[in-house]
Chains A and B, each alone.
Chain A
């Protein structure tokens, strides 16, 4: 295998491993560290792609990924935990960890299989299925977790998947840098604004019975 492709595939597998780790963790601090590590690995991968393809756009994406999703958002999330101890772990999560981990492995296998059956002919690059698998992992996290901070981590994972896919599969995608900046803005809005409103207005939302929203 071409050494360049080997780097892309190896770091890609590392990113997938962080995704599987995130699914099986219920304490928030390791989850934040995990998604920061995933973003850092993705930043390294994008940096490598930017170097080999001489692409300034991918270099900007690498910088954004490291600064926003490996440093800034994880920092804000960890401050939330320090300020509010009740946010340090998902409520009633201990019994569900095994189920989450098994579901994550099953979803990864299914996503890989679907990609190989439908899209592998168009995207022959090594590790081309990994962004799709990562996207499914992010969706799974959003769908199966009820804790607000864990959902933010699921959202970050999805954004990582999209950046990964854009750089690996469609590097010339127009306006991609602008789209990623937009997603980052939304991420900051999610974390910064809504979390602070939630804290001010509802106190401890995960424990509150939101009776009116039933049905």
Chain B
């Protein structure tokens, strides 16, 4: 039984993936898969209980929770669980994998552990270690399929993300030198007076963590790593790694008063809007469907950053968007994995008539394409709508206009390309789809159902937690 104050829950959510990681290394067939699945489910259960009980407070010097971490914990553990489930199916189709299943599952667990650790610590330095830990754990996962392009992608990812995080560490040095503490909860409760060094620290944190979030122009690792990683890992990258990096920035951002100084707001709007527009326009010319999804993630993260900058209902919208997008995008990547296994290529122009060979995957992929691009009634639609409404309410009309442009361009680009692969008639010589290629879509539909549910209903516990999380950052509920 998990105590209502979260003291047990925080340890369970933290130790379950760690235990799974250690057990995964046992060289006995099936242990790694089972241990990872059980560890992920236990972590998800603990995260749900923490959310339902509204767990908040501190445990010891370095562990703590509030509504913001509760919401992000559910996202991370849920996508970890579905990726752990989908992995078995995906690994079956990988010929000459670079990693054994034991090492793959151990790294998957370590990757999830690093993200979860980032969310349950109160010290900004430990959060930084958690984010850097995600790089160490996930870099080798990118190389699973032993392709030259995968190695190049892993290299770019490690190097660019680490370079960005060095800047974030410099920002933390400035925070510590100015305030004398790195305790995020204490800094948010007793915000220091705004000064040039504090603004500089937040700006550097935006650039540093923004590199890992995939903000333009530091985004160059993102499409490579997302497209070259195995699909279950791509789902974790797009669905929860980018939001976890944004979470780390939000903890630094929260030391500023509300509303934030104009310079910081302008910077956030510029980076967010630039990212959304660049992502939306670049996805139009993609030849690989995994890169298409990666650029779509970039567009969504840009919109969420604008929501954070605007505050008010837009901030609530940003959190809702991140939550719904995590489930929708992971669903899209699982479908992409099925298509890759069935067709042996990620080239959009080589794939036709999926609806006949892969009917269930096609249905889930079309729906997830709608979901990630903010079509009603998915939660992403509500989130993006609130951000646009927030921009109009705050008098940022040109921002609202450009946001709508990015949303429309991304909507048309993603849905037309995926629609073409599903509906375009196949050439007569097209090969038959391998037997069993259309299996495993249940996980994709499950995640889609969550993305839909948060858009059409006020889910018990989640809505309250989202409101409380927005309020912590100075936002308002609709």
Which residues of A approach B to under 8 Å, CB–CB?
A: 118-119, 121-123, 132, 135, 138-139, 142, 148, 151, 154-155, 158-159, 161-162, 165-166, 169-170, 172-176, 178-179, 182-183, 185-186, 189-190, 193-194, 197-198, 201-202, 205, 208, 210, 212-213, 215
With A135-B166, A202-B152 as contacts: A178 and B173 at CB distance below 8 Å: no
Q: Do B166 and A162 touch across chains, with their CB atoms under 8 A apart?
A: yes
Nearest-CB distance from B199 to chain A (Å)?
8
Q: How far is the CA of A183 from the CA of B123 in the complex (A)?
A: 18
Which residues of B approach A to under 8 Å, CB–CB?
A: 98, 123, 125-126, 128-129, 132-133, 135-136, 139-140, 143, 146-155, 158-160, 162-163, 166-167, 169-170, 172-174, 176-178, 182, 196-197, 200, 223-224, 282, 285-288, 291
With A213-B152, A215-B287 as contacts: A173 and B224 at CB distance below 8 Å: no
Which of B129, B151, B163, B285 is the one whose CB lies under 8 Å from A179? B129
> What residues of chain A lie closer than 8 Å to B282, measured between beta carbons?
215
Which of B123, B160, B169 is the one whose CB lies under 8 Å from A174? B123
Q: How many A-B residue pairs have CB under 8 A?
A: 129
Q: How far is the CA of A176 from the CA of B129 in the complex (A)?
A: 10
Pull 20 A–B residue pairs with CB atoms less than 8 Å apart, ordered by A.
Answer: A119-B196, A122-B197, A139-B167, A142-B163, A158-B162, A158-B163, A161-B170, A162-B173, A165-B170, A170-B176, A173-B172, A173-B176, A179-B125, A182-B132, A182-B133, A186-B132, A197-B143, A202-B152, A212-B288, A215-B223
- Given known contacts A122-B178, A186-B136, A215-B223, what 15 new A-B pairs fall within 8 Å (CB)? A118-B196, A142-B163, A155-B162, A159-B166, A169-B173, A174-B123, A174-B176, A182-B133, A183-B132, A186-B135, A186-B162, A202-B151, A212-B149, A213-B149, A215-B286
Q: How far is the CA of A170 from the CA of B201 in the complex (A)?
A: 14
Nearest-CB distance from B183 to chain A (Å)?
9
Q: How far is the CA of A201 from the CA of B151 in the complex (A)?
A: 8
> What residues of chain A lie closer than 8 Å to B154, measured between beta carbons?
194, 197
Nearest-CB distance from A58 to chain B (Å)?
14
Question: Chain A interface mostly helix, strand, loop or mixed?
Answer: helix
Q: Do B177 and A170 touch across chains, with their CB atoms under 8 A apart?
A: yes
Q: How far is the CA of A155 from the CA of B135 in the complex (A)?
A: 14
With A186-B135, A190-B158, A212-B288 as contacts: A175 and B123 at CB distance below 8 Å: yes
User: 4 tightest CB-CB pairs across the interface, nearest first?
Assistant: A202-B148, A170-B177, A158-B166, A122-B197
Q: Do B173 and A166 touch across chains, with their CB atoms under 8 A apart?
A: yes
> What residues of chain A lie closer than 8 Å to B170, measured between beta carbons?
132, 135, 161-162, 165
Q: Do B166 and A119 touch across chains, with their CB atoms under 8 A apart?
A: no
> What residues of chain B lie closer than 8 Å to A175, measured between beta carbons?
123, 125-126, 129
Nearest-CB distance from B96 to chain A (Å)?
11
Q: How far is the CA of A197 from the CA of B158 in the complex (A)?
A: 14
Q: Do A119 and B139 touch across chains, with their CB atoms under 8 A apart?
A: no
With A179-B169, A213-B153, A215-B291 as contacts: A142 and B159 at CB distance below 8 Å: yes
Q: How far is the CA of A201 from the CA of B155 in the complex (A)?
A: 13
Q: Do A215 and B285 touch across chains, with their CB atoms under 8 A apart?
A: yes
Nearest-CB distance from B25 to chain A (Å)?
17
Q: Do B136 and A185 touch across chains, with their CB atoms under 8 A apart?
A: yes
Which of B98, B135, B159, B197 is the one whose CB lies under 8 Å from A118? B197
Q: How far is the CA of A136 from the CA of B417 in the complex (A)?
A: 40
Q: How far is the CA of A200 from the CA of B169 in the complex (A)?
A: 33
> What residues of chain B lie closer than 8 Å to A179, measured between beta carbons?
125, 128-129, 169
Q: Do B166 and A210 touch across chains, with their CB atoms under 8 A apart?
A: no
> What residues of chain A lie closer than 8 Å to B155, measured between beta carbons?
148, 194, 198
Q: How far is the CA of A183 from the CA of B132 in the complex (A)?
A: 9
Q: How far is the CA of A9 from the CA of B170 in the complex (A)?
A: 20
Closest to A143 in B: B163
Nearest-CB distance from B35 to chain A (Å)?
24
Closest to B200 in A: A118
> What residues of chain A lie closer than 8 Å to B152, measured between beta carbons?
198, 202, 205, 210, 213
Q: Do A194 and B166 touch across chains, with their CB atoms under 8 A apart?
A: no
> What residues of chain B lie closer than 8 Å to A148, measured between beta carbons?
155
Which of B159, B173, B178 is the one whose CB lies under 8 Å from A165? B173
Q: Do A155 and B163 touch across chains, with their CB atoms under 8 A apart?
A: yes
